[in-house]
Amino acid sequence: RSIEQRRISKFNQQAPYKIMSNIFPTAYLPSIEYISLFLKTDDVSIELYETYQKQSCRTRCNVMTANGIQTLTIPVIKTNGNHTLTKDIEISYKEAWQQIHLRCLESAYRKSAYFDYYFPYFEKIYKQKYNTLIELNDYCLKTILKLLKVKKEYSYTEDFEKIAEDRDFRISLSKNNYNNFEMKPYYQVFADRHGFVSNLSIVDLLFNEGSNSMYNV
């Protein structure tokens, strides 16, 4: 090999992480922590080639209702069983989950200050069908960025990569753990009943704070 080829090879062996992106899991109506890190992180890639992880942010989000925290879950089909990659996860429509999720959002936030403005955008999400989980989550993410009035470039992985821990958010963001993310309290519709709860889905912040949401992420 030439001297230049040997030099590049040596560099890649010594510093393999310098050419890699910061990797995030895909997420359904992501948490405030997810969006905060997503917007503050350069060179974001969303994972497609991991073995699908159930009961995580990939298919779940938390919203606040009159009865407390409600977890909304997307029913999925694992086309290759437990070895199914995230990119191949399909959405099941055996149950009317779209109507259930939409009714939950309406019930939870119809008394919020920005309900009338934002609800039509979420209605649009649930008025169409998606073949895969990635298609749905990507549409949700683009809708959220639009409502936050933020332009953010991101990409999808082309293979599974092990990267430096400080660049890998696939595990740390997987569980929607509310109250584990320190943030300035904002108005919530049912705070008088349940107190302030941090790190719910970003939809909670949008419906309650509207154009001021960016001050909290």
pLDDT digits (tens, 9 = 90+) for 82-124: 999 999 999 999 999 999 999 999 999 999 999 999 999 999 9
What is the number of other CB atoms lying within 10 angstroms of the CB of residue 39?
14
Average pLDDT over residues 39-54: 95
pTM exceeds 0.75 for this model:
yes
pLDDT tens digits, 125-168: 999 999 999 999 999 999 999 999 999 999 999 999 888 888 99
Look at residues 59, 54, 22, 14 and name the one whose alpha carbon lies nearest to residue 152: 22
Strands 154-156 and 44-46: parallel
β-partners of residue 44 are 22, 154
